[in-house]
Structure 1
Amino acid sequence: MTQTRSGVFIAAAALALSAHPAAAQRSPSAGVEFSNDEVRRGLSWSGGRAALSTDVWGVLGPVEASARAATTRGSERHAGADAVIDVALASSWNLGPLQMRTGLTGHLFTGAREAMDYAELGASASYSYGPAQLTGGVEFAPSQDAIGGSNLHLYVNANAGIPGTPFTLIAGLGHSSGSTSDPVRAQRLRPDGNYANWRLGAEHRRGALTLAVDYLGTDISRGDFAGPYADRAHASDRIIGRIRYDF
Protein backbone atom coordinates (compact mmCIF):
# COMPACT_ATOMS: atom_id res chain seq x y z
CA MET A 1 0.00 0.00 0.00
CA THR A 2 1.44 3.41 -0.93
CA GLN A 3 1.98 6.19 1.58
CA THR A 4 -0.87 8.16 -0.01
CA ARG A 5 -3.40 5.36 0.46
CA SER A 6 -2.17 4.64 4.00
CA GLY A 7 -2.79 8.26 4.93
CA VAL A 8 -6.26 8.14 3.40
CA PHE A 9 -7.15 5.01 5.40
CA ILE A 10 -5.96 6.57 8.69
CA ALA A 11 -7.85 9.84 8.11
CA ALA A 12 -11.09 8.11 7.17
CA ALA A 13 -10.89 5.64 10.04
CA ALA A 14 -10.47 8.53 12.47
CA LEU A 15 -13.48 10.30 10.93
CA ALA A 16 -15.62 7.19 11.22
CA LEU A 17 -14.63 6.62 14.84
CA SER A 18 -15.53 10.20 15.78
CA ALA A 19 -19.08 10.04 14.37
CA HIS A 20 -22.20 9.00 16.29
CA PRO A 21 -23.90 5.78 15.19
CA ALA A 22 -27.45 6.01 13.83
CA ALA A 23 -28.61 2.62 15.06
CA ALA A 24 -28.07 0.15 17.86
CA GLN A 25 -25.79 -2.85 17.59
CA ARG A 26 -26.92 -5.32 14.94
CA SER A 27 -25.88 -8.87 14.15
CA PRO A 28 -23.40 -9.45 11.32
CA SER A 29 -24.89 -10.32 7.96
CA ALA A 30 -23.56 -11.94 4.80
CA GLY A 31 -24.67 -12.82 1.30
CA VAL A 32 -23.71 -14.25 -2.07
CA GLU A 33 -24.68 -12.90 -5.47
CA PHE A 34 -24.47 -14.02 -9.09
CA SER A 35 -24.81 -11.60 -12.01
CA ASN A 36 -24.20 -11.70 -15.73
CA ASP A 37 -21.71 -8.81 -15.38
CA GLU A 38 -19.93 -6.98 -12.54
CA VAL A 39 -20.75 -3.35 -13.38
CA ARG A 40 -19.83 -0.25 -11.38
CA ARG A 41 -20.67 3.30 -12.39
CA GLY A 42 -21.72 1.96 -15.78
CA LEU A 43 -18.36 0.26 -16.43
CA SER A 44 -17.87 -3.51 -16.52
CA TRP A 45 -15.31 -4.74 -14.01
CA SER A 46 -15.45 -8.32 -15.30
CA GLY A 47 -14.83 -7.80 -19.01
CA GLY A 48 -18.52 -8.23 -19.85
CA ARG A 49 -18.57 -11.74 -18.34
CA ALA A 50 -20.64 -13.29 -15.53
CA ALA A 51 -19.43 -12.63 -12.00
CA LEU A 52 -19.83 -14.15 -8.55
CA SER A 53 -19.50 -12.16 -5.34
CA THR A 54 -19.78 -12.63 -1.61
CA ASP A 55 -19.95 -10.05 1.15
CA VAL A 56 -20.07 -9.67 4.92
CA TRP A 57 -21.15 -6.70 7.07
CA GLY A 58 -21.00 -5.96 10.78
CA VAL A 59 -20.97 -3.18 13.39
CA LEU A 60 -18.35 -2.61 16.07
CA GLY A 61 -19.27 0.34 18.29
CA PRO A 62 -19.67 3.42 16.06
CA VAL A 63 -18.02 1.75 13.06
CA GLU A 64 -19.60 -0.32 10.30
CA ALA A 65 -17.14 -2.70 8.67
CA SER A 66 -17.73 -4.63 5.46
CA ALA A 67 -15.87 -6.67 2.90
CA ARG A 68 -16.95 -7.81 -0.55
CA ALA A 69 -15.07 -10.08 -2.96
CA ALA A 70 -16.09 -10.27 -6.62
CA THR A 71 -14.62 -12.07 -9.61
CA THR A 72 -13.23 -9.80 -12.32
CA ARG A 73 -12.46 -12.59 -14.80
CA GLY A 74 -9.11 -11.25 -16.06
CA SER A 75 -10.55 -7.83 -16.91
CA GLU A 76 -8.18 -5.63 -18.90
CA ARG A 77 -9.55 -2.63 -17.00
CA HIS A 78 -7.71 -4.01 -13.97
CA ALA A 79 -4.62 -5.42 -15.72
CA GLY A 80 -5.95 -8.96 -15.90
CA ALA A 81 -6.99 -9.21 -12.23
CA ASP A 82 -8.91 -12.32 -11.23
CA ALA A 83 -10.86 -10.71 -8.39
CA VAL A 84 -11.35 -7.54 -6.38
CA ILE A 85 -11.80 -7.31 -2.62
CA ASP A 86 -13.52 -4.15 -1.38
CA VAL A 87 -12.80 -3.45 2.29
CA ALA A 88 -14.77 -0.60 3.85
CA LEU A 89 -15.12 1.29 7.13
CA ALA A 90 -18.05 3.67 7.61
CA SER A 91 -20.19 5.41 10.19
CA SER A 92 -23.77 6.72 10.04
CA TRP A 93 -25.68 9.21 12.17
CA ASN A 94 -28.88 11.22 12.01
CA LEU A 95 -29.00 14.94 11.31
CA GLY A 96 -32.63 15.96 11.64
CA PRO A 97 -34.57 14.03 8.96
CA LEU A 98 -31.35 13.08 7.13
CA GLN A 99 -29.19 10.03 7.65
CA MET A 100 -25.57 11.02 7.09
CA ARG A 101 -22.82 8.57 6.22
CA THR A 102 -19.05 8.83 5.81
CA GLY A 103 -16.58 6.11 4.99
CA LEU A 104 -13.51 4.78 3.29
CA THR A 105 -13.18 1.93 0.80
CA GLY A 106 -10.02 0.16 -0.33
CA HIS A 107 -10.19 -1.75 -3.64
CA LEU A 108 -7.63 -4.59 -3.59
CA PHE A 109 -7.02 -6.61 -6.77
CA THR A 110 -5.65 -10.14 -6.95
CA GLY A 111 -3.83 -11.67 -9.91
CA ALA A 112 -3.19 -8.36 -11.70
CA ARG A 113 -0.05 -7.92 -13.82
CA GLU A 114 0.82 -4.72 -11.93
CA ALA A 115 -0.23 -2.66 -8.91
CA MET A 116 -3.93 -1.84 -9.33
CA ASP A 117 -5.05 -1.18 -5.71
CA TYR A 118 -6.57 2.19 -4.83
CA ALA A 119 -8.67 3.82 -2.10
CA GLU A 120 -11.49 6.34 -2.01
CA LEU A 121 -13.44 8.37 0.54
CA GLY A 122 -17.23 8.72 0.51
CA ALA A 123 -19.98 10.83 2.06
CA SER A 124 -23.74 10.76 1.54
CA ALA A 125 -27.06 12.03 2.88
CA SER A 126 -30.33 10.07 2.69
CA TYR A 127 -33.96 11.13 3.20
CA SER A 128 -36.77 8.62 3.64
CA TYR A 129 -40.49 9.18 3.22
CA GLY A 130 -42.68 6.12 3.64
CA PRO A 131 -41.37 3.36 1.36
CA ALA A 132 -39.23 5.80 -0.67
CA GLN A 133 -35.65 6.90 -0.10
CA LEU A 134 -33.52 9.52 -1.86
CA THR A 135 -29.72 9.53 -1.47
CA GLY A 136 -27.14 11.96 -2.75
CA GLY A 137 -23.43 11.52 -2.29
CA VAL A 138 -19.85 11.88 -3.38
CA GLU A 139 -16.98 9.40 -3.65
CA PHE A 140 -13.47 10.78 -4.05
CA ALA A 141 -10.25 8.93 -4.79
CA PRO A 142 -7.23 11.20 -4.19
CA SER A 143 -4.55 11.15 -6.86
CA GLN A 144 -2.98 7.68 -7.02
CA ASP A 145 -0.71 6.00 -9.57
CA ALA A 146 -3.09 3.06 -10.03
CA ILE A 147 -5.85 5.29 -11.46
CA GLY A 148 -3.66 7.90 -13.19
CA GLY A 149 -4.77 10.86 -11.09
CA SER A 150 -7.79 11.56 -8.92
CA ASN A 151 -11.39 10.49 -9.42
CA LEU A 152 -14.54 12.29 -8.26
CA HIS A 153 -17.94 10.59 -8.54
CA LEU A 154 -21.15 12.50 -7.72
CA TYR A 155 -24.40 10.58 -7.60
CA VAL A 156 -28.07 10.62 -6.68
CA ASN A 157 -30.05 7.41 -6.14
CA ALA A 158 -33.73 6.78 -5.46
CA ASN A 159 -35.64 3.65 -4.53
CA ALA A 160 -39.25 3.01 -3.61
CA GLY A 161 -41.02 -0.12 -2.49
CA ILE A 162 -44.39 -0.77 -4.10
CA PRO A 163 -46.82 -1.11 -1.16
CA GLY A 164 -48.32 -4.55 -0.72
CA THR A 165 -45.81 -6.18 -3.10
CA PRO A 166 -42.27 -7.61 -2.82
CA PHE A 167 -41.06 -5.20 -5.55
CA THR A 168 -38.74 -2.21 -5.22
CA LEU A 169 -38.06 0.25 -8.05
CA ILE A 170 -34.58 1.78 -8.34
CA ALA A 171 -33.13 4.72 -10.27
CA GLY A 172 -29.74 6.41 -10.21
CA LEU A 173 -27.66 9.06 -11.95
CA GLY A 174 -23.93 9.73 -11.57
CA HIS A 175 -21.10 11.78 -13.00
CA SER A 176 -17.36 11.01 -12.88
CA SER A 177 -14.53 13.53 -13.31
CA GLY A 178 -11.06 14.12 -11.91
CA SER A 179 -7.50 15.24 -12.45
CA THR A 180 -5.09 13.40 -14.74
CA SER A 181 -1.44 12.63 -14.06
CA ASP A 182 -1.21 9.59 -16.38
CA PRO A 183 -3.61 9.77 -19.38
CA VAL A 184 -3.36 6.02 -20.00
CA ARG A 185 -4.07 4.94 -16.43
CA ALA A 186 -6.83 7.57 -16.07
CA GLN A 187 -8.81 5.73 -18.77
CA ARG A 188 -9.29 2.88 -16.32
CA LEU A 189 -12.07 4.66 -14.40
CA ARG A 190 -12.78 7.39 -16.99
CA PRO A 191 -12.43 5.79 -20.47
CA ASP A 192 -13.77 8.87 -22.23
CA GLY A 193 -12.65 11.54 -19.79
CA ASN A 194 -15.54 12.94 -17.74
CA TYR A 195 -18.74 10.96 -18.23
CA ALA A 196 -22.26 10.35 -16.89
CA ASN A 197 -23.88 7.04 -15.98
CA TRP A 198 -27.44 6.01 -15.14
CA ARG A 199 -29.44 3.09 -13.79
CA LEU A 200 -33.06 1.93 -13.85
CA GLY A 201 -34.03 -1.30 -12.15
CA ALA A 202 -36.39 -3.41 -10.12
CA GLU A 203 -35.88 -5.91 -7.31
CA HIS A 204 -38.13 -8.72 -6.10
CA ARG A 205 -37.40 -9.79 -2.53
CA ARG A 206 -38.89 -12.86 -0.92
CA GLY A 207 -37.30 -13.87 2.35
CA ALA A 208 -33.54 -14.28 1.91
CA LEU A 209 -33.75 -14.37 -1.89
CA THR A 210 -33.55 -11.31 -4.15
CA LEU A 211 -34.07 -11.34 -7.92
CA ALA A 212 -33.20 -8.14 -9.78
CA VAL A 213 -32.84 -6.67 -13.24
CA ASP A 214 -31.13 -3.37 -14.10
CA TYR A 215 -30.68 -1.26 -17.20
CA LEU A 216 -27.31 0.49 -16.94
CA GLY A 217 -25.84 3.04 -19.33
CA THR A 218 -23.21 5.73 -19.89
CA ASP A 219 -22.66 8.58 -22.34
CA ILE A 220 -19.18 7.24 -23.22
CA SER A 221 -18.65 7.37 -26.99
CA ARG A 222 -18.22 4.10 -28.85
CA GLY A 223 -15.01 5.10 -30.58
CA ASP A 224 -11.92 3.01 -31.23
CA PHE A 225 -10.08 1.21 -28.44
CA ALA A 226 -8.10 3.91 -26.65
CA GLY A 227 -5.65 2.12 -24.37
CA PRO A 228 -4.85 -1.02 -22.34
CA TYR A 229 -7.15 -0.06 -19.42
CA ALA A 230 -10.01 1.73 -21.18
CA ASP A 231 -11.91 -1.49 -22.09
CA ARG A 232 -14.22 0.73 -24.11
CA ALA A 233 -16.10 -2.31 -25.47
CA HIS A 234 -17.52 -2.87 -21.99
CA ALA A 235 -18.61 0.68 -21.16
CA SER A 236 -21.86 0.83 -23.14
CA ASP A 237 -25.52 0.26 -22.23
CA ARG A 238 -26.46 -3.19 -20.93
CA ILE A 239 -29.08 -5.23 -19.10
CA ILE A 240 -27.90 -6.85 -15.86
CA GLY A 241 -29.62 -9.71 -14.09
CA ARG A 242 -28.80 -10.49 -10.45
CA ILE A 243 -29.64 -13.30 -8.01
CA ARG A 244 -28.74 -12.77 -4.35
CA TYR A 245 -29.12 -14.86 -1.22
CA ASP A 246 -28.70 -13.36 2.26
CA PHE A 247 -27.68 -15.34 5.31
Structure 2
Amino acid sequence: MELNIGPNVVTFKHFTEKPNGDWRRWSADLYYLPKFIEYPSLAINNRLININSESELYGDYFFFLISQRKMEKSVFRNDPYHFFFLINEELADNEETKSLCNVFEIRVKNYDNEWQDWQAICSDTITVFRGEKHDDLTYLRSPITDELSDLKEKFEICYSGQLWISDVTGQRQIVTDRDMLLNINPFDNRITPFTDLGNPCYPFDDQVADLRRFKERYCNYDSDGKRI
Protein backbone atom coordinates (compact mmCIF):
# COMPACT_ATOMS: atom_id res chain seq x y z
CA MET A 1 0.00 0.00 0.00
CA GLU A 2 1.45 3.37 -1.01
CA LEU A 3 1.46 5.96 1.75
CA ASN A 4 0.63 9.56 1.04
CA ILE A 5 2.96 11.40 3.43
CA GLY A 6 1.58 14.86 4.12
CA PRO A 7 2.86 17.74 6.25
CA ASN A 8 3.71 16.78 9.82
CA VAL A 9 4.38 20.19 11.40
CA VAL A 10 2.88 23.64 11.16
CA THR A 11 4.86 26.85 11.58
CA PHE A 12 3.30 30.07 12.91
CA LYS A 13 4.72 33.49 12.12
CA HIS A 14 3.68 37.13 12.37
CA PHE A 15 3.23 39.17 9.21
CA THR A 16 1.74 42.64 8.89
CA GLU A 17 0.26 41.69 5.51
CA LYS A 18 -0.40 38.43 3.70
CA PRO A 19 2.93 36.88 2.70
CA ASN A 20 3.73 35.18 -0.57
CA GLY A 21 3.71 31.41 -0.85
CA ASP A 22 1.49 28.90 0.94
CA TRP A 23 1.07 30.80 4.20
CA ARG A 24 -2.53 30.80 5.47
CA ARG A 25 -4.21 33.16 7.91
CA TRP A 26 -4.78 31.83 11.44
CA SER A 27 -5.84 35.08 13.10
CA ALA A 28 -5.12 38.78 12.68
CA ASP A 29 -1.47 39.20 11.62
CA LEU A 30 -0.73 35.54 12.41
CA TYR A 31 -0.17 33.06 9.60
CA TYR A 32 0.66 29.36 9.48
CA LEU A 33 2.46 27.10 7.05
CA PRO A 34 1.99 23.29 7.05
CA LYS A 35 5.12 21.48 5.89
CA PHE A 36 6.88 18.15 5.99
CA ILE A 37 10.14 17.74 7.89
CA GLU A 38 12.36 14.69 8.16
CA TYR A 39 11.70 12.63 11.27
CA PRO A 40 12.40 8.94 11.96
CA SER A 41 9.01 8.00 13.49
CA LEU A 42 5.73 8.92 11.81
CA ALA A 43 2.08 8.07 12.46
CA ILE A 44 0.44 8.24 9.04
CA ASN A 45 -3.28 7.49 8.73
CA ASN A 46 -3.16 5.38 11.91
CA ARG A 47 -0.09 3.44 10.73
CA LEU A 48 3.23 3.65 12.60
CA ILE A 49 6.17 4.08 10.25
CA ASN A 50 9.87 4.03 11.12
CA ILE A 51 12.19 5.38 8.45
CA ASN A 52 15.94 5.82 8.15
CA SER A 53 16.04 9.55 8.66
CA GLU A 54 17.57 12.11 10.99
CA SER A 55 15.24 14.44 12.87
CA GLU A 56 15.01 18.00 11.54
CA LEU A 57 13.10 19.17 14.58
CA TYR A 58 14.96 21.82 16.53
CA GLY A 59 14.17 24.40 19.16
CA ASP A 60 13.11 24.54 22.79
CA TYR A 61 9.87 23.06 24.07
CA PHE A 62 7.41 25.57 25.48
CA PHE A 63 5.89 24.62 28.84
CA PHE A 64 2.29 25.44 29.66
CA LEU A 65 1.14 26.14 33.20
CA ILE A 66 -2.06 24.13 33.63
CA SER A 67 -4.42 23.29 36.45
CA GLN A 68 -5.86 20.11 34.94
CA ARG A 69 -8.96 20.16 37.13
CA LYS A 70 -10.66 22.88 39.13
CA MET A 71 -8.93 23.51 42.47
CA GLU A 72 -5.95 21.33 41.47
CA LYS A 73 -2.42 22.67 41.74
CA SER A 74 -1.03 24.05 38.48
CA VAL A 75 1.75 22.05 36.85
CA PHE A 76 4.05 22.57 33.87
CA ARG A 77 3.43 20.46 30.79
CA ASN A 78 4.97 20.59 27.33
CA ASP A 79 2.47 18.22 25.69
CA PRO A 80 -1.14 19.22 26.44
CA TYR A 81 -3.47 17.15 24.24
CA HIS A 82 -0.31 15.65 22.66
CA PHE A 83 0.55 18.94 20.95
CA PHE A 84 4.15 20.13 21.23
CA PHE A 85 5.30 23.72 20.67
CA LEU A 86 8.89 24.37 19.62
CA ILE A 87 10.23 27.91 19.93
CA ASN A 88 13.47 29.71 19.17
CA GLU A 89 14.57 32.03 21.96
CA GLU A 90 17.88 33.01 20.37
CA LEU A 91 16.58 36.42 19.33
CA ALA A 92 15.34 37.14 22.85
CA ASP A 93 18.62 36.01 24.43
CA ASN A 94 20.87 37.91 22.02
CA GLU A 95 21.77 41.42 23.18
CA GLU A 96 21.80 42.80 19.63
CA THR A 97 18.49 41.30 18.48
CA LYS A 98 16.34 41.10 21.61
CA SER A 99 14.41 44.25 20.74
CA LEU A 100 13.47 42.69 17.38
CA CYS A 101 11.88 39.60 18.90
CA ASN A 102 8.17 39.02 18.42
CA VAL A 103 5.95 37.99 21.31
CA PHE A 104 2.95 35.71 20.92
CA GLU A 105 0.14 35.22 23.42
CA ILE A 106 -1.08 31.70 24.03
CA ARG A 107 -3.45 29.90 26.36
CA VAL A 108 -4.83 26.38 26.64
CA LYS A 109 -7.97 24.76 28.01
CA ASN A 110 -7.75 22.22 30.81
CA TYR A 111 -9.67 18.94 31.00
CA ASP A 112 -12.67 20.78 32.44
CA ASN A 113 -12.73 22.91 29.29
CA GLU A 114 -11.63 26.02 31.19
CA TRP A 115 -9.16 28.50 29.79
CA GLN A 116 -5.88 28.83 31.68
CA ASP A 117 -3.76 31.95 32.15
CA TRP A 118 -2.35 33.71 29.12
CA GLN A 119 1.37 33.09 28.64
CA ALA A 120 3.96 34.79 26.43
CA ILE A 121 6.14 33.10 23.82
CA CYS A 122 9.19 35.12 22.79
CA SER A 123 10.21 33.69 19.45
CA ASP A 124 10.40 34.58 15.78
CA THR A 125 8.33 31.49 14.91
CA ILE A 126 6.42 28.69 16.63
CA THR A 127 6.57 25.15 15.25
CA VAL A 128 3.76 22.82 16.33
CA PHE A 129 3.38 19.08 15.89
CA ARG A 130 1.17 16.43 17.40
CA GLY A 131 2.78 13.27 18.68
CA GLU A 132 1.80 9.91 20.07
CA LYS A 133 3.96 7.65 22.19
CA HIS A 134 4.61 3.99 21.47
CA ASP A 135 7.39 2.00 23.16
CA ASP A 136 9.10 5.17 24.38
CA LEU A 137 9.16 6.60 20.85
CA THR A 138 7.27 9.74 19.85
CA TYR A 139 5.59 9.47 16.45
CA LEU A 140 4.65 12.63 14.58
CA ARG A 141 1.08 12.52 13.31
CA SER A 142 0.62 13.17 9.62
CA PRO A 143 -1.03 15.00 8.04
CA ILE A 144 -0.94 17.79 10.63
CA THR A 145 -3.73 19.55 8.74
CA ASP A 146 -6.15 16.94 10.14
CA GLU A 147 -5.22 18.09 13.66
CA LEU A 148 -5.72 21.83 13.19
CA SER A 149 -9.38 21.95 14.20
CA ASP A 150 -8.44 20.33 17.52
CA LEU A 151 -5.55 22.74 17.91
CA LYS A 152 -7.86 25.71 17.40
CA GLU A 153 -10.42 24.25 19.83
CA LYS A 154 -7.94 23.63 22.68
CA PHE A 155 -5.55 26.56 22.23
CA GLU A 156 -5.76 30.24 21.47
CA ILE A 157 -2.73 31.78 19.76
CA CYS A 158 -2.31 35.38 18.65
CA TYR A 159 0.36 37.96 17.99
CA SER A 160 0.96 40.27 20.94
CA GLY A 161 3.73 42.74 20.08
CA GLN A 162 7.46 43.34 20.46
CA LEU A 163 9.75 42.27 23.29
CA TRP A 164 11.34 44.91 25.50
CA ILE A 165 13.92 44.07 28.16
CA SER A 166 14.65 46.67 30.82
CA ASP A 167 18.31 47.68 30.95
CA VAL A 168 17.91 48.38 34.67
CA THR A 169 15.97 45.40 36.04
CA GLY A 170 16.18 42.86 33.21
CA GLN A 171 12.39 42.56 33.34
CA ARG A 172 10.96 41.20 30.08
CA GLN A 173 8.03 43.26 28.85
CA ILE A 174 5.69 43.34 25.86
CA VAL A 175 5.00 46.49 23.90
CA THR A 176 1.69 45.31 22.47
CA ASP A 177 -0.01 46.29 19.25
CA ARG A 178 -2.85 47.57 21.46
CA ASP A 179 -0.62 50.29 22.99
CA MET A 180 -0.21 48.45 26.28
CA LEU A 181 2.93 47.67 28.24
CA LEU A 182 2.81 44.27 29.94
CA ASN A 183 5.16 42.23 32.11
CA ILE A 184 6.23 38.64 31.46
CA ASN A 185 6.61 36.57 34.62
CA PRO A 186 10.19 35.23 34.54
CA PHE A 187 9.25 31.92 36.17
CA ASP A 188 6.25 30.75 34.16
CA ASN A 189 5.89 33.24 31.25
CA ARG A 190 2.45 34.36 32.43
CA ILE A 191 1.39 37.78 31.19
CA THR A 192 0.90 40.22 34.07
CA PRO A 193 -0.04 43.92 34.25
CA PHE A 194 2.56 46.66 34.33
CA THR A 195 2.36 49.15 37.19
CA ASP A 196 4.68 51.97 38.17
CA LEU A 197 3.10 53.89 41.04
CA GLY A 198 6.16 56.01 41.68
CA ASN A 199 6.43 57.31 38.13
CA PRO A 200 5.22 60.94 37.93
CA CYS A 201 5.04 60.62 34.12
CA TYR A 202 2.50 57.80 34.41
CA PRO A 203 -0.53 59.32 36.20
CA PHE A 204 -2.46 57.14 38.63
CA ASP A 205 -5.71 57.52 36.68
CA ASP A 206 -3.98 56.25 33.54
CA GLN A 207 -2.64 53.26 35.44
CA VAL A 208 -6.11 52.43 36.73
CA ALA A 209 -7.48 52.66 33.18
CA ASP A 210 -4.73 50.35 31.90
CA LEU A 211 -5.41 47.85 34.68
CA ARG A 212 -9.06 47.85 33.66
CA ARG A 213 -8.05 47.18 30.04
CA PHE A 214 -5.80 44.35 31.23
CA LYS A 215 -8.61 42.76 33.22
CA GLU A 216 -11.01 42.96 30.27
CA ARG A 217 -8.49 41.27 27.98
CA TYR A 218 -6.70 38.76 30.19
CA CYS A 219 -8.89 38.14 33.24
CA ASN A 220 -12.46 38.27 31.97
CA TYR A 221 -15.10 35.91 33.38
CA ASP A 222 -18.71 35.16 32.58
CA SER A 223 -21.62 35.10 35.05
CA ASP A 224 -20.84 31.46 35.92
CA GLY A 225 -17.28 32.28 36.88
CA LYS A 226 -15.72 30.73 33.77
CA ARG A 227 -12.94 32.58 32.02
CA ILE A 228 -13.91 34.00 28.67
Same fold (TM over 0.5): no
The alignment's TM-score, normalised by the length of structure 2, stands at 0.31
Indicate the structure (1 or 2) with the bigger Cα radius of gyration: 2
Q: Which has the higher strand share?
A: 1
Q: Which has the higher helix share?
A: 2
The alignment's TM-score, normalised by the length of structure 1, stands at 0.29
Report which structure shows greater RCO (CA 8 Å, sep ≥6). 2
